[in-house]
A and B are shown apart, each in its own frame.
Chain A
Amino acid sequence: MTTRSKPRPETATGELPAQRAIDDPVVAQPDVPVVVAPGDAASRSVAASAGLLGTRILRQYSLVFLLVASFVLYSTWNKTSSVFLTGDSLRVMVAGQAVIGVLTLGILVTMVAGNFDLSVGNIAGLSQIMTATLYAKHGWGMWAGIVAGIAIGGFVGGINGLLVTILRVDPFIITLGTASAILGFIDWYTKDQSIVTGIPAGITHFGRNNFFGVPDIVWVLAIVAVVIYYLLEHTPYGRNLHAIGSNRAAARLVGIRVERSIAMAFVINGIFAGIAGVLMLARAGAGNPQIPPTLALTALAGAFLGAASFKVGRLNVPGTIVALLFLAVNITGLQYAGVANWINEMFTGLSLIFAIALAAVLSKERSVKKTRKSA
Chain B
Amino acid sequence: MPTVMAGPRTALAMRGLSKTYAGHLALDSLFLRIRAGEIHALLGGNGSGKSTTIKILAGVVTADPGGELVVGEGEPVGLHDWTPAKAQAAGLRFVHQQPAVFPELSIAENLALGAEFPRGLGGRVDWRALNARTAELLERYEIHASPKTPLAALRAADRCRVAIVRALQDRDDADSGVLILDEPTAALPAAEVEHLLEALRGYAAAGQTILYVSHRLDEVLSVADRVTVLRDGRKVDTVEAEGLTEADLIEMIVGRPLDRVFPAAPLDSTDDAALTIRGLRGGPLRGVDLTLRKGEVLGIAGLLGSGRSELLRMLFGAYPVEGGSVTLDGAEYAPGSPQAAMKAGVAYVPEDRQAEALLSGESIRHNLTAGQESSYFRKFLYRHRLERNDAQRSIGDFLIRVVSDTNPVETLSGGNQQKVVMARWLRRRPKVLLLDEPTQGVDVGARAEIYQLIRRATEQGTSVILVVSEPEELAHASDRVAVLRGGRITTVVERPIDAHKLTELMNIPQVAVGEGSS
Contacts and interface: CB of A to CB of B under 8 A. Distances in A.
Interface string B380-398: 0110100000000000000
A297 interface: no
A88 B356 CA distance: 54
B234 A24 contact: no
Contacts of A246: 359-362
Contact of B359 (A236, A243, A375): A243
B359 A253 contact: no
A144 interface: no
B103 A15 contact: no
Interface in B348-406: 348, 350, 354-362, 366, 369-371, 373-374, 376-377, 381-382, 384
A11 B22 CA distance: 41
A9 B225 CA distance: 12
Contact of B356 (A11, A41, A253): A253
A25 B359 contact: no
Nearest to B240: A12
Given A236-B373, A243-B370, A369 B410 contact: yes
B23 A253 contact: no
Given A36-B29, A255-B371, A375 B240 contact: no
B6 interface: yes
Given A9-B7, A31-B31, A44 B356 contact: no
A101 to B, nearest CB: 24
A80 B38 CA distance: 71
A353 interface: no
B123 interface: no
A22 B6 contact: yes
Interface stretch (B13-21, B254-262, B270-278, B283-291): B13-21
Contact of B33 (A9, A11, A31, A313): A31
B68 interface: yes
A24 B10 contact: yes
Q: Which of B14, B20, B98, B318 has the most CB of A within 10 A?
A: B20
Contacts of B7: 9-10, 15, 19-20, 22-23
Nearest to A48: B20
B488 interface: no
A232 B35 CA distance: 54
A260 to B, nearest CB: 10
Interface in A214-239: 233-236, 239
Given A22-B6, A26-B14, A368-B410, A242 B382 contact: no
A169 interface: no
A241 B234 CA distance: 41
Interface in A333-375: 366-369, 371-372, 374-375
B237 interface: yes
Given A26-B15, A26-B70, A48-B20, A247 B359 contact: yes
A366 B408 contact: yes
Interface in A1-30: 1-4, 6, 8-12, 14-15, 19-20, 22-27, 29
Interface residues of B, number: 84
A14 B33 CA distance: 12
Nearest to B376: A236
B222 to A, nearest CB: 5
B9 interface: yes
Given A22-B6, A46-B23, A366 B100 contact: no
A52 B348 contact: no
Contacts of B234: 33-34
A250 interface: yes
Contact of B357 (A31, A250, A367): A250
A273 B103 CA distance: 36
Contact of B361 (A29, A45, A249, A314): A314
A51 to B, nearest CB: 9
B355 A34 contact: no
Contacts of A194: none
B362 A243 contact: yes
B404 to A, nearest CB: 13
B235 interface: yes
A349 B357 CA distance: 37
Nearest to A42: B25
B242 A26 contact: no
A159 to B, nearest CB: 25
26 contacts: A2-B201, A11-B240, A12-B243, A23-B7, A25-B73, A26-B10, A32-B235, A33-B234, A33-B235, A34-B16, A41-B25, A49-B20, A236-B376, A242-B359, A242-B362, A242-B366, A245-B361, A246-B362, A247-B359, A255-B339, A366-B360, A368-B354, A369-B361, A371-B102, A374-B103, A375-B355
Q: Which 6 A-B pairs have the closest CB atoms?
A: A254-B371, A49-B23, A236-B373, A48-B20, A246-B359, A234-B382
Given A31-B33, A34-B16, A234-B384, 18 more contacts: A1-B218, A2-B198, A4-B204, A4-B223, A10-B7, A25-B70, A26-B68, A31-B31, A33-B237, A41-B28, A41-B29, A234-B381, A236-B373, A247-B358, A247-B360, A250-B356, A253-B357, A374-B103
